[in-house]
């Protein structure tokens, strides 16, 4: 991604980035499928609302959130893809599995974004329980998938 001073001075809150020719890859974890499907729907609706074309939105499923990093890498390395959005839900349990997975995916997708110099967005819920997850996947606290899509759009404006 090329950032120039011209881009910076033109980027204002009112001036929403034109994403009509941008290609988005969404990597979706199959664990907690009910939640991640809602995140996916929210992200896609938001991308379409802001002007993305349906045919420019790609989906790749991975088994769990731990695999989001590798899935993101497979897609980020494709020149045609402008931004990658990772969607998952890791529910806090009684074991340290939660910390291992969350740390790994947060660090992993950060590295992928830096390596390929393009937005790789962390759209992973890390709730204490199923209800909190539902509240953030189209429930009373909004939809983390929408937020992830908006973050990708904002990053493409730089």
Q: For ligand DLZ, what does the binding mask look like between residues 53 and 72, x meaning CB under 6 A?
A: ----------xxxxx-----
H or E element that contains 129: none
- List residues bridging with 84 in a β-sheet: 25, 120
Residue 97 annotated as catalytic: yes
65-98 burial: b if 16+ Cβ within 10 Å, else e: bbbbbebbbbbbeeeebbbbbbbbbbbeeeeeee
Smallest gap, in angstroms, from Cβ of residue 150 to ligand DLZ?
22
**Which of 77, 97, 115, 141 is flagged as catalytic?**
97
Indicate the residue among 31 and 50 with the shorter CB distance to ligand DLZ: 31
Stretch that binds ligand DLZ, among 4-12, 25-33, 39-47, 144-152 (CB under 6 A): 25-33
99 binds ligand DLZ (CB under 6 A): no
32 binds ligand DLZ (CB under 6 A): yes
Q: Return the residue matching tokens 């899935």.
A: 71
146 binds ligand DLZ (CB under 6 A): no
| Non-local CB neighbours of 138 within 8 Å, separated by 6+ positions | 38, 41, 42
Binding footprint of ligand DLZ on the chain (CB under 6 A): 29, 31-32, 63-67, 88-91, 93, 97, 101
């Amino acid at each position: 991604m090329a950032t120039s001073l011209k881009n910076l001075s033109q980027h204002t809150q009112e001036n929403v980035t034109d994403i009509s020719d941008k290609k988005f890859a969404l990597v979706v974890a199959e664990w907690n499928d009910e939640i991640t499907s809602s995140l996916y729907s929210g992200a896609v609706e938001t991308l379409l609302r802001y002007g993305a074309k349906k045919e420019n939105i790609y989906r790749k499923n991975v088994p769990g959130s731990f695999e989001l990093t590798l899935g993101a890498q497979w897609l980020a390395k494709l020149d045609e893809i402008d931004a990658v959005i990772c969607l998952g839900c890791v529910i806090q349990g009684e074991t340290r599995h939660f910390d291992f997975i969350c740390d790994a995916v947060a660090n992993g997708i950060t590295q992928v974004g830096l390596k390929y110099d393009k937005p790789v967005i962390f759209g992973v819920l890390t709730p204490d329980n199923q209800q909190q997850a539902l509240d953030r996947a189209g429930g009373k606290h909004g939809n983390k998938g929408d937020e992830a899509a908006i973050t990708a759009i904002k990053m493409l404006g730089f």
